[in-house]
Amino acid sequence: MVHSPTAAAEVEVVVDRSELYRHLTRRYAGALPDDVHEAVQYAVVVAYETSVMREPPYNLQAYVTTVANRVMSRHAANARRFVHPERDGMDGWSPFEDRDSPLVTTEDHETTVDAGRVIGAMPETYAEVLRKHYMLGLPLEEIARQEGVSGECIRKRHERALRYARKLFL
């Protein structure tokens, strides 16, 4: 089906961008603002092209959110795979093995993660607990004594920190 230029002018794409920005920044907490902006713009363009070229989607907001999530998941996958200059330290480009933070590795290359980058993207209280427990090897009870709180409090903080870290990879 071919649309005339006048029919294309009648198509109006109305998307709640603030809701889309809010959703993406919460779901991809470690993402760069430019990546989020690019995903939103791309999703709006795809929605407009879909509306012009064929029948518009029934739920435009859900369609745009799905497209933006796919774009952001590609950005997140690329961020895990490559070292970007804006995410690297003052020394410029450097391979992962030369960094001072250890790599958390598994058999699968896709799950190789820079621990320093994960801890840097977290709130300070969560990052401190994870750094002391996993990178310095302190038990949770020792961390609780250093912080001046109960062991239960540190265990809960550790659980919340792990949940927050998992969100960074969704």
Enumerate the domain spans of the chain.
Answer: 5-81, 91-167
Q: Measure Cα distances from 9 to 41, 44, 82 in Å.
A: 19, 16, 41
SS3 114: strand
- Give the model's pLDDT for residue 14: 78
Say how far apart CA 69 and CA 73 lie, in whole Å.
Answer: 6
64 vs 7, higher pLDDT: 64
List, in sequence order, every residue forming a beta bridge with 104; answer none if it has no partner.
113
**CATH classification (class only), 91-167:** mainly alpha
Asked if 83 and 114 count as a contact pair (C-beta separation under 8 A), the reply is: no
Q: How confident is the model at residue 30 (pLDDT cuts 50, 70, 90)?
A: confident
Q: 2 pLDDT band (50/70/90 cuts)?
A: very low
Residue 29's CB is within 10 A of a number of other CB atoms, namely: 16
